[in-house]
A and B are shown apart, each in its own frame.
Chain A
Amino acid sequence: MTTQQKPILPERVFDFDSLVHEDRVHRSLYTDPAIFDLEMTRIFGAVWVYLAHESQVPQPNDFVRARLGRRPLIVVRDSNGVLRALYNRCTHRGATVCRRDRGSAKAFQCPYHGWTYLNTGKLSGVPWPEGYSCDFSRPEFNLMQVPRVESYRGLIFATLNADAPSLTDYLGPVRRPIDEWLDRHPGGALEVREANRLKFNGNWKLLYDNSADGYHVVFSHRSLLMMENRLQDGDGKGMSYYKDSPDSGPVKLYSFPNAHHFKDKRDAIPKRPGALWAIEGLHPGMEHYEAALRRDFPDRADAFLDLASSEPVNINVFPNLHILGNHIQVSEPLSVTETATTWYGTAVVDPDGELGAALGPVNALRMRTQEQFPTFGEVDDLANFEQIQAGLAAEEDAWIYMHRGLGLPERYSDGGDGTTIGPATDEVFMRDYMRVYRRLMQTEPAIAPTREI
């Protein structure tokens, strides 16, 4: 006889070897709330998760709210300039201590009982302390915080996992396209300028499944492609390079270690200044600013216009960061069937004044070029994701296939550093990321939040 108490609810054990196969995954990964709950610790608690861009917290005391999985955080540059990710949860009773989305604050006071914390997370005072017998100077009463917060060239990541590799090792070879994306901007610098904020009624992985998917483009975005080319003689605008035979074309898919991947469309664009601008969709101010730049900067206008154009890359950092076009797109799991996806627009900063008077026009164009895809393209993808979620209600039809390219080794080449290079419409990136997912879901991470300052 055992005296051991049974848990109130029996703990469910999942066999991820039977849920994740090489060619297919089980629908429950997208529909089961218990798997979602497990993902919040075993995925979002285990790896480096993107939180914010440094331009959102440029000065000491600046903060912006974010989430790590579902954990509510305050990403703050503290009074000493140190980047921190504080739990937005009062140590006392659990209320959020910060309710503004962003701002500047040296301290956060809980509105419920007035416990006050410095922006380092340190508890600085509680009302009527004589009513307590404990020592409030002990770290156990500080705000909890994520122990490891690091910036990679302005991109702020954090991990709860004491055993996670360094951020640079975690990123690995995906750093190359990130570096190239940043370095196309003067000084390698950019800043976030508001966002197209969307959400959908579907699981967060639907978005990651799509992130390097070249297979859907001409179907899911058919109306966008038609719209972009409605005033043209040919169909050269936008992502038309996916038409005809995309797998024998110049678009390449890079599947990296740690579930990151990269769809490189740059070789579909001729290598000359102005070529990127030439395929840019029609947008407000296009002709006005182009004429002004050509008049004022006859030798450099093409390069400036390319800087206003959408960079043809999809760089995906598992589990929640997507750099595409000029966007920093961040996804946030809200529940097993609800996901937010925020398309932060970026502006050229030009710290050394290389652009001179062209900076304003370039950014004025760039705001409009960036709104095009979320407004007329992403909404259709998100509608399709919602319809996947609806279709997955069919219990008996349990599998989702991701086997495009499987068994056809001639489609791939070895890119070194654990990288596989495949053709534009291949699903190898899904199989690779699901292998990482399966391993993570079978491992309990060393989650180690801290209250030490």
Chain B
Amino acid sequence: MGAPAQRDPSTSSYYVGDAFYAALVRAFTDWDRDERAIADPARRDAVRAFLEREARLLDRGDYAAWLAMFAPECAYWVPGTPERGDPSREITVAFHDRRQLEDRVYRLGTGYAWSQAPASRTVRSVSNVELFATGDAGIVMVRSNFLIAELLDGELRHWAGWAGHRLETTGDGFSILAKQVNLIDCDRNLRNPSITL
């Protein structure tokens, strides 16, 4: 296996393997249950502020700051079915590791990504933020609903769904270990799904 320098998740993908997929699927199974809900308003406020900042950064196209919200070894997962499935066994709308998230951002910045040239304007609303405890005191699962208004090629349209964030507590806030975006129309034919969700 590679030396530490080769393990930089921005340039290689050693961390995405069977164990990573299995842990990810497990982490997003059966987690949003009442008995795990965290009622503490201060914690919820902190998470809500974190998600609202994420929405603002994406609306502004500040992708460098957005990427910095993710842990080095992270996952961005848009399942292709409402059952969500196992991404190691089936096609997703999108499944990115750290490097491919950076690919996504790089591509949008080339100026030659015709699906986003000119770039869509978006306004995101985040609501129904709920926190759920995990077995690890430093990790919280967050469920929120989203509605994205997108102006694409002069036409206003909407994306809707809910997101699951797996957040790790850090010294000064949170870091996204994994973000799962559940579009309500994930298993329908999508027109130009090129904005970052």
Contact = CB atoms under 8 A, between A and B. Distances in A.
Interface residues of B, number: 50
Contacts of B99: 282, 284
A413 interface: no
A282 B12 CA distance: 8
B148 to A, nearest CB: 17
A360 B75 CA distance: 20
Contact of B113 (A198, A223, A282): A223
A164 interface: no
A366 to B, nearest CB: 10
Contacts, number: 141
B175 to A, nearest CB: 19
Contact of A367 (B89, B103, B104): B89
Contact of A345 (B90, B100, B117, B188): B90
Interface residues of A, number: 52
Contacts of A379: 115, 192-194
A195 B80 contact: yes
Contacts of B89: 193, 347, 363-364, 367
Main secondary structure of the interface of A (DSSP, over half): helix
B65 interface: no
Interface in B76-95: 80-81, 85, 87-95
B62 interface: no
B106 interface: yes
A285 B16 contact: yes
Contact of B103 (A201, A222, A282): A282
Contact of A383 (B17, B106, B115, B188): B115
Interface string B164-186: 00000000000000000000000
Contact of B91 (A282, A285, A367, A380): A367
Given A193-B89, A288-B16, A223 B189 contact: no
Nearest to A285: B16
Interface string A230-257: 1100000000000000000000000000
B91 A286 contact: no
Interface string A362-383: 0110011011000110011011
15 contacts: A194-B91, A195-B80, A199-B191, A226-B110, A227-B110, A284-B13, A285-B20, A288-B16, A345-B91, A360-B18, A367-B89, A367-B91, A375-B94, A382-B115, A382-B192
Given A231-B11, A289-B17, A363-B88, 10 more contacts: A193-B89, A196-B91, A220-B114, A222-B112, A223-B114, A282-B100, A285-B16, A285-B17, A345-B91, A380-B114
